[in-house]
Amino acid sequence: MKKFTFGWSVLLAACLIMIICLPVWGQTIKIGVIGPMNFVQGKGHWNGAVMAAEEINAQGGVNVGKQKMKIELVKADSNEFINVTDAANAMERLMTQDKVDFVVGGFRTEAVLAMQDIAMDYKKIFIGCGASDIELCSRVAKDYNRYKYFFRGTPFHNGYLVRTSFAHLATGGAAIKKELNVPVRVAIVAEKAAWAEPMVAAAQAVIPKMGMELAGIWRPSAVATDVTSELSAIQKSGANLIFTIFSSSVGITFARQAGELKVPALQVGINVEAQKDGFWEATKGMGNYVFTMETYIRGVEVNKLTKPFVETYFKRFKETPTYTADTYIAIKHYLVPSIEATGTLDADKIVAHLENRVFEVPSGTDKFEKDAQGQPTHDLTWGPGYQTSLGGQWQDGKIVGVWPNKWKATPTSPEVTFNGMVPIKLPPWMKK
Partner 1 sequence: MDLAILYVKKFYKIIRGEVLVLPSRISVGLFFLVLIGLPLITRDPYIIRIIILTSIFAILAASWDLLSGFTGQMNFGHALFFGVGAYASALLNVHAHIPPWGSVPLGALAAVMAGLIVGIPCLRLKHTYLALTTLAFPIILLGIIFALPDWTGGELGISGLTRFTSSLLGNYYLHIITMLVLCTIMWKITDSNTGLIFHAIREDELAVKTAGINTTRYKLLAFCLSGFFAGIAGGLYAHYMRIAGPSTLEVSMSFTVVIWAIFGGAATIYGPVAAVFILFPLLEFVRFWPEYRTLIFAFIVLFTLLYMPEGLIPWVRDKIEKECPRCKIRNVSTRKTCRICTAGLD
Residues within the interface to partner 1 (CB under 8 A): 37-38, 75, 77, 79, 82-86, 88-90, 92-93, 95-97, 109-111, 113-114, 117, 133, 135, 139, 194-195, 197
Strands (E), 78-143: 102-105, 125-129
Amino acid at 362: P
Whether 117 and 148 have beta carbons less than 8 Å apart is answered as no
Identity of the residue, 67 or 89, whose beta carbon is nearer to partner 1 in the bound complex? 89
The CA–CA distances, whole Å, from 363 to 360, 418, 428 equal 8, 11, 32
Identity of the residue, 161 or 180, whose beta carbon is nearer to partner 1 in the bound complex? 161
Identity of the residue, 147 or 279, whose beta carbon is nearer to partner 1 in the bound complex? 147
Residue 315, Cβ neighbours under 10 Å: how many?
8
- The DSSP symbol for 334 reads I
Identity of the residue, 156 or 403, whose beta carbon is nearer to partner 1 in the bound complex? 156
Identity of the residue, 80 or 294, whose beta carbon is nearer to partner 1 in the bound complex? 80
Cβ of residue 109: shortest distance to partner 1, in angstroms? Answer: 5
SS3 per-residue string spanning 265-318: CEEEEEEHHHHCCCHHHHCCCCCCCCEEEECCCCCCECCCCHHHHHHHHHHHHC
Q: Give the CA-trace dihedral at 280, 283, 284, 289, to 10 degrees.
A: -60
Identity of the residue, 80 or 273, whose beta carbon is nearer to partner 1 in the bound complex? 80
Cβ of residue 224: shortest distance to partner 1, in angstroms? Answer: 18
Identity of the residue, 36 or 153, whose beta carbon is nearer to partner 1 in the bound complex? 36
Q: Which contiguous run of DSSP H or E holds residue 20? A: helix 2-26
Cβ of residue 201: shortest distance to partner 1, in angstroms? Answer: 11
Whether 64 and 340 have beta carbons less than 8 Å apart is answered as yes
Burial of 208 (0-12, 13-18, 19+ CB in 10 A): exposed
Identity of the residue, 25 or 122, whose beta carbon is nearer to partner 1 in the bound complex? 122
Cβ of residue 155: shortest distance to partner 1, in angstroms? Answer: 16
Cβ of residue 200: shortest distance to partner 1, in angstroms? Answer: 13
Identity of the residue, 79 or 283, whose beta carbon is nearer to partner 1 in the bound complex? 79
Whether 195 and 222 have beta carbons less than 8 Å apart is answered as no
Instruction: Write the CB contacts of 128 (distance below 8 Å, at least 6 apart in sequence).
Output: 105, 106, 112, 116, 136, 150, 151, 152, 153, 154
Cβ of residue 364: shortest distance to partner 1, in angstroms? Answer: 26
Q: Which contiguous run of DSSP H or E holds residue 118? A: helix 109-121
Cβ of residue 211: shortest distance to partner 1, in angstroms? Answer: 30
Cβ of residue 118: shortest distance to partner 1, in angstroms? Answer: 9
φ/ψ of 315, rounded to 5, equals -65, -40
Cβ of residue 179: shortest distance to partner 1, in angstroms? Answer: 38
